[in-house]
């Protein structure tokens, strides 16, 4: 089966390949893009059980010398001690400047392995092999890497672009429904930014059936934005749609609510707030809510507007007395709203009361 190729145009450009059966062909695809080197595969224990042997076989068939590092699955592994074990593993394996790391897994693996690749020997290459929908449509593209600190999520990290992204859509067959929903939230966010035909595909609630066009359109959108704004000083900030509330909900829940679920609630609140304040060109809130619900996502929260505003204002995205929100005015049209921080709680309240 042929695959799609979506380029990300940066100083050092790279391709995102999307299609079925890509993991089984990973060795030859990596050889074409990167040439000869040693490959260190980084993956979590769940993904290792499903896909590591297949990937290692393909790499060896393509003539690669490999080693692999497996860590316990889950966000708790995205922290300093795993990073430090990983860096020591690279050193013990004597990886050199010309070698390469493969991040095989979801966003946790990509963020951790990308960060380790970005600082080992002041930066070696890495390849993303996303196996969750969230990683495929969002975290594997754009070069943001990070680990969590006890003080908060993603507090230590760097921009380090991958050299190649291989997105094997067959991986999503083994993904539990909640993980598919988690990724669908980021896809719906992209659909609200991009508009049609992506949003309509997501409105069906049947992501599995439309997986290839959904992933392709999300990747194309993100690749284009990242190509315009590599380090998030301008248009890339649009990708924060739903995230001010989303991050606040994650924080208030002690990070027990997964990122995508929190973003889903954030998308619903911001859409209802925009609509109830008359700041939209067309009714959007009901459509956005129904797309979220059909994909198994929540649209309300038990936390108060006050608690969410307090959590949001302690977040790093705050600048001075203003906070920048991304607000939808129609499906396919969002804009930046500079809001005085004192008005944030009322803005959230408008979106939460309209949801009752």
Nearest residue (CB) to ligand NAD, 27 versus 110: 110
What would the two tokens of residue 93 be? 């394996």
Query: In the annotation, is 173 catalytic?
Result: no
Query: What minimum distance in Å lies between the beta carbon of 79 and ligand NAD?
Result: 10
236 among known catalytic residues: yes
For residue 243, indicate whether it is catalytic: yes
Rounded distance, CA 232 to CA 120, Å?
A: 24
Report, in Å, the least distance between residue 278 CB and ligand NAD: 32
Q: Which of 19, 107, 191, 242 binds ligand NAD (CB under 6 A)?
A: 107
> For residues 47 and 101, which CB has a smaller minimum distance to ligand NAD in the complex?
47
Measured from the CB of residue 286, what is the shortest distance to ligand NAD in angstroms?
27
Rule CB under 6 A: say whether 322 interacts with ligand NAD: no
Total number of residues that touch ligand NAD (CB under 6 A): 29
Interaction of residue 179 with ligand NAD, rule CB under 6 A:
yes
State the residue number with the nearest CB to ligand NAD: 107
Phi, psi of 95 (to 5 degrees): -65, 140
- Catalytically annotated residue among 3, 78, 125, 144: 144
Q: Tell me 342's DSSP state.
A: G
Alpha-carbon distance 112 to 55, whole Å? Answer: 19
139 contacts ligand NAD (rule: CB under 6 A): yes
Catalytic residue among 160, 247, 251, 349: 247
Contacts with 224 (C-beta within 8 Å, 6 or more apart), sequence order = none
> What sign has the CA pseudo-torsion 138, 143, 148, 152?
negative
Selected from 52, 171, 187, 327, the binder of ligand NAD by CB under 6 A is 171
Spatial separation of the C-alpha atoms in residues 81 and 98, rounded to whole Å: 25
Per the structure block, which two tokens stand in for 15?
């391709």
Residue pair 226/141 in contact by the 8 Å Cβ criterion = yes
Q: Is 144 a catalytic residue?
A: yes
Binding segment for ligand NAD (CB under 6 A), chosen from 46-54, 201-209, 249-257, 318-326, is: 46-54
Q: Which of 135, 165, 291, 312 binds ligand NAD (CB under 6 A)?
A: 135
Q: Report DSSP letters for 279-334, one per residue.
A: --SS--HHHHHHHHHHTT-----SS-HHHHHHHHHTSTT-BTTEEEEEEEEETTEE
Active site members: 122, 144, 186, 222, 232, 236, 240, 243, 247, 259
């Amino acid at each position: 089966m042929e695959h799609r190729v979506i380029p990300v145009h940066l100083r050092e450009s790279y391709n995102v390949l999307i299609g079925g059966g890509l993991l089984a062909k990973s060795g030859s695809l990596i050889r074409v893009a990167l040439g000869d080197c040693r490959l260190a595969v980084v993956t979590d224990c769940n993904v290792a059980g499903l896909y590591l042997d297949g990937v290692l076989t393909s790499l060896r068939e393509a003539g690669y010398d490999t080693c692999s590092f497996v860590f316990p699955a889950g966000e708790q592994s995205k922290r300093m001690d795993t990073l430090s074990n990983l860096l020591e593993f690279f050193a013990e394996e004597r990886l050199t400047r010309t070698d390469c790391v493969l991040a095989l897994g979801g966003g946790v693996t990509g963020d951790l392995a990308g960060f380790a690749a970005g600082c080992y020997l002041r930066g070696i290459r890495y390849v993303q092999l996303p196996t969750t929908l969230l990683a495929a449509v969002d975290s594997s593209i754009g070069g943001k890497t990070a680990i969590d600190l006890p003080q908060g999520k993603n507090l230590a990290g760097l921009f380090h672009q991958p050299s190649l992204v291989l997105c094997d859509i067959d991986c999503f067959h083994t993904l539990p429904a909640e993980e598919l929903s988690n990724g669908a939230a980021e896809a719906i966010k992209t659909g609200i930014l991009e508009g049609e035909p992506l949003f309509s595909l997501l409105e069906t609630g049947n992501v599995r059936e439309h997986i290839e066009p959904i992933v392709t359109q999300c990747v194309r959108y993100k690749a284009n934005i990242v190509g315009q704004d590599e380090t998030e000083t301008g248009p890339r900030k649009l990708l924060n749609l739903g995230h001010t509330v989303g991050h606040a909900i994650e924080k208030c829940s002690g990070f027990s609510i997964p990122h995508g679920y929190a973003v889903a609630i954030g998308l619903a609140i911001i859409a209802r707030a925009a609509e109830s304040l008359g700041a939209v060109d067309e009714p959007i809130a009901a459509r956005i809510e129904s797309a979220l619900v059909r994909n198994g996502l929540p649209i309300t929260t038990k936390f108060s507007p006050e608690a969410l505003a307090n959590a949001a204002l302690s977040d790093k995205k705050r600048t001075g007395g203003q906070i920048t929100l991304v607000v939808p005015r129609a499906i396919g049209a969002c804009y930046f709203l500079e809001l005085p921080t004192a008005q944030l709680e009322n803005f959230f309240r408008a979106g939460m009361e309209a949801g009752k």
